[in-house]
Chain A
């Protein structure tokens, strides 16, 4: 020790020469400790969050307390979820996707650990999902309301005998146009493409789903969209690169956005278009057109994920939603035909608006074609992603 006699040297720098308050330090530590304690408490209580599980009615005693959906957006009436929770108990949670590819990616990446119970894929994607062990086999005895489904919508070619799926609803694709900005009538996909590249250039949207974009090209050119011919795919790719600079956005739910004037023309599913129309202050300013001369018939299905943590709740919900009254309420919300026997008459009797966007004539049905997942799928997805890259100007 040098210089003990030099008096007390101030060794601290000016900032630290302040009062180092023990109290302040303690209070800081308390904050940290409380935070640590609250973590454990919250983590414990997070699993018991059933919302008012006063289960009246015929509720199976073995229902879990949660039900997790991997779902499209705005696809079911939120009031129905509340009703389900009130009647049966499980609290519902929804995570959304905008295309089947997204949903499948999430499930594949999670490899059974995603934590979801119900996913709602479009029909043609189901065989591969089954082959890759993403979906559970269904025990139809747990879904007595299955009999309410019109027989024509059961037993589809992609899932004979409904081993893995039950029809949720079906629909088609077309366009919404803002007539105050586009005066030309749009009757076919060729009109759609022409307007998109000219009057609506930079002001229109395409669905953010690769199969739908593919459909636009193939239907406009009279080619079967299930083709695997490389020449066809080359032509499709060339067209996407031509189309790309005119696209404003790839948007799967443009219905509501029309009300904010975001687009003059949009590629849209019929139910989402109808939801938009329900929200417009002046519906006559817009018009909906179904795809012509050919368009899609897609069917979305309730399926239970392999490894679902709450399977009994999932069965209860599927059964619940197939009840005619609930199905009608759902239809009024999302605007797609749920395929339940008598739902069309019930909708007409209830006087819901824009029914022509939900129910189609036989002649219209004849123009609709289902998709097929085949060897061209990978290339089609990459063409779509390249189109998105090229759209960046």
Chain B
């Protein structure tokens, strides 16, 4: 029997493709349609705009365009974008975590799948159409405004549309599911026995939550934060539809260099800055999170007294 096994293995070993062979088509696809185009954009960011009708020239490469991109007005948009996206991510977490916790711990297991699916259903409506839904809701003659006016809470039409607040609301709405899903998955996987054990050891509910549930769900939290923060910062549509002039976000600014100004060098430079800003913020928060974890761990350290030998 061992001989037969060895024979078939030898046969299989005759032609041995490299380990990554099956991933090669995807790799080529990615490189050709992602890596190369994006590298091309980075290359363009060192060019300049020669005249009105030519969007880019790369005979003279320099950092001049970056100087222009770092001008105060444009930087202001980047900082505002960061504010909206950090606040938006935080709001998504504050709204999504209790919801995911409820779904994972308080709902009977046989209903969880269905209710989770229900969360996702709104997100099968087109992103743009969902945002239009908010456009209608928030418009001065829309249902919310009429309701507020008729019930006497407000005396004049609602002016929430075309403001930064509308964009904040819109992005929280559009990315909430991306926070709920990974949080639910992690919380769902948590063994309830852990929480029960903690309570059996006398910990209060809050302490259990803080020292058992929260740390154990850390991977899901991290995934949710990343899944929301990253696309939110580059958001283009929500800002365009709901923001008006006030809701200018970096994505819109980058796009308008390409769609209106025809200045590909400047647009490319701003795009590179946008990506750098996203990665930079993630790195900063990763460092902070690691620091918090180290401190928390140090606090929780138990130093056992030296073992005293008991005789007899």
Pick out which of these stretches binds chain B: A153-161, A332-340, A358-366, A375-383: A375-383
Q: Are B248 and A388 in contact (CB under 8 A)?
A: yes
| B141 contact from A128, A241, A251, A260, Cβ within 8 A | A260
Residue of B nearest to A382 (CB): B261
Chain A residues whose C-beta falls within 8 Å of the C-beta of B247 in the assembled complex: 392
The number of residues on chain B lying at the interface, defined by a beta carbon within 8 Å of a beta carbon of chain A, is 39
Pick out which of these stretches binds chain A: B7-15, B73-81, B173-181, B226-234: B73-81
What 0/1 pattern do residues 179 to 206 of B give for CB contact below 8 A with A?
Answer: 0000000000000000000000000000
| A203 contact from B159, B258, B262, Cβ within 8 A | B159
A249-B244, A381-B260 in contact; A389/B159 too (CB < 8 A)? no
Q: Are A262 and B52 in contact (CB under 8 A)?
A: no
Chain B residues whose C-beta falls within 8 Å of the C-beta of A344 in the assembled complex: none
Q: Are A388 and B245 in contact (CB under 8 A)?
A: yes
| B76 contact from A108, A203, A392, Cβ within 8 A | A392
Q: Are A392 and B246 in contact (CB under 8 A)?
A: yes
Chain B residues whose C-beta falls within 8 Å of the C-beta of A202 in the assembled complex: 159
| A393 contact from B80, B253, B258, Cβ within 8 A | B80
| A104 contact from B164, B256, B257, B262, Cβ within 8 A | B262
Tell me, yes or no, whether B5 is within 8 Å of chain A by CB. yes
Chain A residues whose C-beta falls within 8 Å of the C-beta of B162 in the assembled complex: 248-249, 262
Residue of A nearest to B258 (CB): A105
A108-B55, A393-B246 in contact; A101/B262 too (CB < 8 A)? yes
Tell me, yes or no, whether B23 is within 8 Å of chain A by CB. no
A390→B253 CA distance, assembly (Å)? 11
Q: Are B139 and A262 in contact (CB under 8 A)?
A: yes
Tell me, yes or no, whether B1 is within 8 Å of chain A by CB. yes
A270→B263 CA distance, assembly (Å)? 31
Residue of B nearest to A249 (CB): B244
A392→B165 CA distance, assembly (Å)? 12
Give 25 A-B contacts (CB < 8 Å), ordered by A residue: A1-B1, A1-B5, A99-B260, A101-B261, A102-B259, A105-B260, A108-B262, A109-B55, A247-B244, A248-B244, A259-B141, A261-B140, A261-B157, A262-B139, A378-B52, A382-B263, A386-B73, A389-B74, A389-B253, A391-B248, A392-B76, A392-B77, A392-B246, A393-B80, A393-B164
Q: Interface residues, chain B, CB within 8 Å of chain A?
A: 1-2, 5, 49, 51-55, 71, 73-74, 76-77, 80, 139-142, 157, 159, 161-162, 164, 244-249, 253, 256-263
Q: A378-B51, A392-B245 are in contact. List 14 more A-B contacts (CB 8 A).
A: A99-B260, A102-B259, A105-B260, A132-B53, A203-B159, A210-B260, A248-B245, A260-B140, A262-B161, A262-B162, A373-B52, A385-B257, A386-B71, A392-B246
